[in-house]
Amino acid sequence: MRVLHVCSELYPLLKTGGLADVIGALPFAQKEIGIDARIVLPAYPAIMTGIPNTVIVHEFDNFAGHIVLRYGEYNGVGIYLIDAPHLYAREGNPYYGENYQDYADNYKRFALLGWVGAELATGLDSWWRAEVVHAHDWHAGLVSAYLAHKGRPAKSIFTIHNLAYQGNFSAHHLYEIGLPSEMFNINGLELHGQISYLKSGLYYSDKVTAVSPTYAKEITTPEFGYGLEGLLTTLTQQGKLFGVLNGVDETIWHPNNDPYIQDHYKLKFMTKKRHNKQKLQSYFNLPQQAEALLFVMVTRLTEQKGVDLLIESAEEIVKQGGQLIILGSGAAELEQSIDELATRYPENIAVRIGYDEALSHLIIAGGDVILVPSRFEPCGLTQLYGLKYGTLPLVRATGGLADTVVNSTSENIKSRTATGFVFDEATSEALSQAIGNAFTLWQKQRLWFSVRTVAMEQDFSWKIAAENYKQLYQ
């Protein structure tokens, strides 16, 4: 089966969020179970540098100008690169410039991505033709519209990684990107008078997936649907919307072979986890106390991630003699607030504004509890990393967090299903209560180790996700 993934990021070459992690793992896991999976990406500078040996497959002119389609391989998976320097040769973030303003030509940059994705199902590469085109998030949303316009030469699947980002553009661009005016209506591309690239993916694809079963249900409600809940409810009723949980790439995220940490450990050989904790405390100049319950958080600093709830609840950690380490960047006022917390409680709280891949691995390996108090979370990966590393996740019951973490109630501990701490309401009171529950369990070390063992036994490998997608493709 020939499957083409159409997307805008690829870990580790270019990453702005979890989408890159998915594309850096799923096609490779699919290859291992016999699917002929390939990827098409814009030829951003970072991608071109990471995949230097390419051959030219095709040169052409279309609505986006002169385009060169290149082909190379990355870790054994075929990669098509859309080489259009006038659109993609921009350093840094692929979506916006230095002033955080979206590029004015994003409508054209990502229409081209969709157009090429569709053309690779109709012979743009004379040696290989996609049978299933799997588009990811709004950047690739027009793929299925172009396929529909061409009479559906291939089957299409669209995966929602985050419904909040929709790729909405002015209607007058429609003619410029080569789609007919009859597609611009409520039963098509139109959303609130604009072209919606995300809605295109939802409306024209044969199947739609969300990155967790709970998120697939949540997005059919007004709270999580961003104005598309009606269409998503219809897709559910038609049997077209599914939830497929993301996985963990164990070549990168496993405490026994993690390339970023020196002190490796695994279930039944946990001594070195303590070493990681000591190194982490030392790195952040916190007292090296093995008995202090160490909470960690690696995140974008936004209200979506519940960072404001943690700021209001942080004193609960201090009061009980715990420690808190935060790595991330985002909203300026949240950065300032957590900096102030670290200044006020230098013995208990430490912060690093920014992102550091190696440090994030040490944080997850060295922590005792990983905090993911999100208001919404399509899938979430950090809680999965926490489970793998025996760093118990403390999460809000939403999206993929609800699907992957089981609360440590006495019944769940007894039945050996508990894997972390879960709270329901997006309030600082509910988060504080869950933090208190973590301290209570920490006092009973034998039970703590029992929950940690169950957490580390969980299997969220990409092989499972790859098999689930294979069934959908078939």
Q: What is the pLDDT of residue 244?
A: 96
Residue 92 pLDDT > 90, yes or no? no
Pairing of strands 190-191, 194-196: antiparallel
Q: Which residues pair with 71 in a beta bridge?
A: 55, 80
Give, in order, the Cα–Cα distances in Å from 277 to each of 154, 193, 251, 274, 294: 51, 53, 22, 5, 8
Q: Cα–Cα distance between 456 and 256 in angstroms, integer? A: 12
Q: Which of 424, 290, 282, 440 is nearest to 363 (CA)?
A: 282
Q: What is the pLDDT of residue 251?
A: 87
Copy the structure tokens of residue 467. Answer: 């098999």
Between residues 97 and 147, the one the model is more confident about: 147
Pairing of strands 168-170, 349-353: unpaired
For residue range 15-46, what is the model confidence (pLDDT) as tens digits?
988 899 999 999 999 999 999 999 999 999 99
Q: Cα–Cα distance between 256 and 233 in angstroms, integer? A: 43
pTM of the model: 0.91
Please, which pLDDT band fits residue 99 given cuts at 50, 70 and 90?
A: confident
Please report the beta strands in 302-420, taking only residues with DSSP state E, as ranges in sequence order: 323-330, 349-353, 369-372, 392-396
Query: DSSP code of 181?
Result: G
For residue range 225-261, what is the model confidence (pLDDT) as tens digits?
999 999 999 999 999 999 999 999 888 899 999 999 9
As a whole number, mean pLDDT of residues 435-458 equals 98
Q: What is the pLDDT of residue 16?
A: 87
How many CB atoms sit inside 10 A of residue 405's CB?
Answer: 27
For residue range 326-345, what is the model confidence (pLDDT) as tens digits?
999 999 999 999 999 999 99
Ligand-binding site membership of 15 (annotated): yes
Percent of the chain with pLDDT over 70: 100
Q: What is the pLDDT of residue 98?
A: 83
Spell out the domain ranges in the chain: 2-244, 271-459
Please, which pLDDT band fits residue 311 given cuts at 50, 70 and 90?
A: very high
Q: Cα–Cα distance between 474 and 464 in angstroms, integer? A: 16
> Locate tokens 């075929």: which residue?
78
Q: Which of 460, 287, 282, 276 is nearest to 365 (CA)?
A: 276
> Locate tokens 């080569």: which residue?
178
For residue range 316-329, what is the model confidence (pLDDT) as tens digits?
999 999 999 999 99
Residue 208 pLDDT > 90, yes or no? yes
Q: What is the pLDDT of residue 246?
A: 94
Amino acid making up residue 466: A
Q: Which CATH superfamily is domain 2-244 in?
A: Glycogen Phosphorylase B; (3.40.50.2000)
How many CB atoms sit inside 10 A of residue 437's CB?
Answer: 17
Sign of the alpha-carbon dihedral angle for 356, 360, 363, 368? positive
Q: Which residues pair with 325 in a beta bridge?
A: 296, 350
As a whole number, mean pLDDT of residues 298-316 equals 96
Q: Which of 206, 214, 157 is nearest to 26 (CA)?
A: 157
Please, which pLDDT band fits residue 10 given cuts at 50, 70 and 90?
A: very high
- Equal fold, 2-244 vs 271-459: yes
Q: Cα–Cα distance between 421 and 412 in angstroms, integer? A: 11
Q: What is the mean pLDDT of the chain?
A: 96
Q: Cα–Cα distance between 410 and 412 in angstroms, integer? A: 6
Q: What are phi and psi of 307, to 5 degrees?
A: -65, -35
Please report the beta strands in 302-451, taking only residues with DSSP state E, as ranges in sequence order: 323-330, 349-353, 369-372, 392-396, 421-423
CATH of region 271-459, choose from 3.30.930.10, 3.40.50.150, 3.40.630.30, 3.40.50.2000: 3.40.50.2000
How many CB atoms sit inside 10 A of residue 203's CB?
Answer: 25
For residue range 64-90, what is the model confidence (pLDDT) as tens digits?
999 999 999 999 999 999 999 999 999
Q: What is the pLDDT of residue 398?
A: 97
Amino acid making up residue 185: N
Q: What is the pLDDT of residue 18?
A: 84
As a whole number, mean pLDDT of residues 255-271 equals 96
Q: What is the pLDDT of residue 135?
A: 98
Dihedral Cα 8, 9, 10, 12, nearest 10 deg: 160
Copy the structure tokens of residue 397. Answer: 């019951």
Give, in order, the Cα–Cα distances in Å from 98 to each of 20, 87, 130: 21, 16, 36
Dihedral Cα 137, 60, 45, 134, nearest 10 deg: 20
Residue 80 near residue 57, CB atoms below 8 Å: yes
Residue 355 pLDDT > 90, yes or no? no
Amino acid making up residue 222: P
Residue 399 pLDDT > 90, yes or no? yes
Sign of the alpha-carbon dihedral angle for 376, 373, 312, 426? positive
Please, which pLDDT band fits residue 54 given cuts at 50, 70 and 90?
A: very high
Q: What is the pLDDT of residue 139?
A: 98
